Structure 1
């Protein structure tokens, strides 16, 4: 008993020593790894938990939150490097259809850490009953086939579609359409077409899912008997002017539709129709012309009876060197004598061949303008007048000459 009493008499002292040691340890740890309160700038993704499979979230929902955490500096550093350790969620377990205000929750995998603040503090979630309805697919053919073609009975690989989504959205859908444009179609169609859910105003209803999202559509298209598509062959006569060449010939439209009361005639005729001849004799520039077609007997054109032919013509390009072209001094002050060194230059020209062939030294004027110049020595650049705008002066040698004015 005396031993027990003796031990008990030391117990307050032992407890005091233990508390002091704990305080010293906490103080030491805190001073070396102090607590910090940090608001993480990167939003935390917000997960939705516990949603009843017969319900669906309607409208927009906050999908991230900003979190402020109290933790030692070392933990904060670790959380920054491992943002996936912070989890944010709202729990919808047990909730029915309606509007609910919920508080997001945050858990942290790394300890010790405490959540000080979540922003926003609450979020609003609207739950609706999940509804699925079946609709027949309404195939709409828009546009018109070219003359001489007809479309057969179209077919779909599936006739119905399931629309799933919030009850308020699915209830807006009155029909589901698939649209195929027939404009300029001359062959049978087989393509995948997107399905569109529409309301009673013909506006697409968003926020619902379709199964399937598209349908395969086949539309047979055939050309009627007696009709045929042929290309236009441009017929020309003669040659363009000497020194020019043909850059190209195009026709619009490039193909036409013909018709005959005799289907065999249409089938056996060539795959083209010629234009009446277009003369190119002596032509020097591009032109455009409306031209008639040379139709075989019994054949007529469907639509416009003429075509537009565009003919491109350009000059053949070449180059020319002229040697010892004399230099002329102009605007010389009265009483001054002019000495040019050198008094002739070489010219290097380029341009249309037919102009170069007509060119000679007599056609060209090389001058130095001495307007206002007094007695003295000058280094001047000659001016060259070639007489034709389409000719280019590529080089003049020498590029400058010495001019001496004396009395």
Structure 2
């Protein structure tokens, strides 16, 4: 019996040892094929449970994160992403004005991954109470309006700006100031939109960057009217005569367009405008600029001496003119002739009528450039049209292309001496041929000879085509 027990215990020990060795071998093999690795991830922190009407002052870093180190088998760890983890900080028990360290709580969706460490493990948090207050708007108008005008009481909207922010900062605000600076030339009601600047009770400027404002701008309306003994009157230019024939009056401008005058209120009310003394434009052909004098009614005078400049623009009427012009040949090589089809073009010019009326036929030239063309050429060319640069423009040329044919020119060259018998005919006509340098017959020429009383040698000229 004892021997049996000893054998059983020995077998059991062997079995256990084999099992341990098998487990060790399995773990070693597993580590070799799928080793355990470490991996780091940046996980964004989410703040939850923030009490209503509070603002987070700390942490000041926007979108804070926690650095997470995890461990697991490579086949799993390599597939893990930061979306598999979440980091939260619970703010539900934080009191406004209190700074407290809160735990950063981690959660994971992959159970086979171990979190080795995280940084930080806690986060310093501070909340402040949010409040809203109506801050009064004040307006500061600087400088004066134009002479002869007065400024009424300004109005503005809104009169209060609701400011929402940290309680201690909002309660320190005293007012919102809008400054409007006049340039001293305003003659009409002025409307200005400006951003207010916030001040505290000590008169120090306070930044509004951390505030929520009900309105970013303030609209200020400043009434401006003429004083009783002053009035702004427009200026009208008094013209006499007409420009020269073929010209017209294009425009009349005056600078300044109005002036400030003084006088009795009743007289100023009856005066709608001021006129200049007459300006004669009879027979003018050009624009000009000159100073003018105002024709002021009795009892009315300028508030200050002002130079009145009048600019009068005169321009010619514009029309078209058609010109038929022969085409001139340029660049034709010696010994060549050019035949143009057609040899005349029709040109339409547009511009000032007086310039067109004075345009002579020789002022317009039409040419074709034949430089480089050889005998036998048959080409279409665009004629070049030139004319004086006096504000004229070419509207059309018909035809736009002309056909040019290049041939050899005909000249008197060889001389033939023949013996002609006496004849009773009134005229003697002899057909003669003319050849090129190679002896090729190019054509025939009939030569008429007058009868002679005796036989003689008569030179007869032949035409040769070069």
Please indicate, yes or no, whether the TM-score normalized by the shorter chain is above 0.5: yes
2:67 and 2:120 in contact (8 A); partners too: no
1:58 and 1:166 in contact (8 A); partners too: no
Change (3 A) 1:344 1:204: same
Change (3 A) 1:239 1:132: same
* More contact order relative to length (CA 8 Å, sep ≥ 6): 1
Structure 2 unaligned regions, length at least 5: 1-42, 69-82, 410-466
User: Which residue number in structure 1 is paired with residue 248 of structure 2?
Assistant: 245
1:248 and 1:311 in contact (8 A); partners too: yes
The DSSP-based 3-state class of the residue aligned with 1:393 is: strand
Deviations 1:68-113 (A, max 9, x none): 9xxxxxxxxxxxxxx9xx99864323244265665666999xx999
The DSSP-based 3-state class of the residue aligned with 2:209 is: coil
The DSSP-based 3-state class of the residue aligned with 1:318 is: strand
Separation in 2, partners of 1:161, 1:337? 95
Deviations 1:149-187 (A, max 9, x none): 122444668877665533674487565202345445445
Q: Where do residues 8-407 of structure 1 align in structure 2 (5 Å cutoff)? A: 49-51=49-51, 53=53, 57=57, 62=62, 90-92=89-91, 93-97=93-97, 125-128=125-128, 130=130, 137-154=137-154, 163-166=163-166, 169-170=169-170, 175-183=175-183, 184-187=185-188, 194-198=195-199, 204-210=207-213, 219-260=222-263, 262-269=264-271, 271-303=272-304, 305-323=306-324, 325-379=325-379, 380-398=381-399, 399-407=401-409
The DSSP-based 3-state class of the residue aligned with 1:141 is: strand
Change (3 A) 1:390 1:211: closer
Deviations 1:288-347 (A, max 9, x none): 444332222332223451233333333333222223x21122344444334333221122
User: Which residue number in structure 2 is paired with residue 12 of structure 1?
Assistant: none
Separation in 1, partners of 2:100, 2:402? 91
Structure 1 unaligned regions, length at least 5: 1-42, 69-82
Note the aligned Cα RMSD (angstroms): 4.8
Change (3 A) 1:250 1:46: farther
Pairwise CA distance, 1:355: 2.2
Alignment length (residue pairs): 352
Q: Which moved more, 1:130-139 or 1:333-342?
A: 130-139
Separation in 1, partners of 2:66, 2:285? 77
Q: Which moved more, 1:365-374 or 1:392-401?
A: 365-374
2:54 and 2:127 in contact (8 A); partners too: no
Separation in 2, partners of 1:44, 1:282? 87
Change (3 A) 1:193 1:393: closer
Change (3 A) 1:400 1:189: closer
Separation in 2, partners of 1:90, 1:190? 51
The structure with the largest alpha-carbon Rg is 2
The DSSP-based 3-state class of the residue aligned with 1:264 is: helix
Pairwise CA distance, 1:356: 2.3
2:53 and 2:131 in contact (8 A); partners too: no
2:154 and 2:220 in contact (8 A); partners too: yes
Pairwise CA distance, 1:353: 2.3
Separation in 1, partners of 2:191, 2:360? 69
Separation in 1, partners of 2:64, 2:329? 85
Pairwise CA distance, 1:190: 7.7
The DSSP-based 3-state class of the residue aligned with 1:356 is: helix
User: Which residue number in structure 1 is paired with residue 439 of structure 2?
Assistant: none
2:133 and 2:164 in contact (8 A); partners too: yes
After TM superposition, the score normalised by the length of structure 2 is 0.59
1:131 and 1:164 in contact (8 A); partners too: yes
Change (3 A) 1:312 1:266: same
2:96 and 2:126 in contact (8 A); partners too: no
Separation in 2, partners of 1:119, 1:373? 91
The DSSP-based 3-state class of the residue aligned with 2:327 is: strand
Separation in 2, partners of 1:378, 1:326? 20
Change (3 A) 1:156 1:391: closer
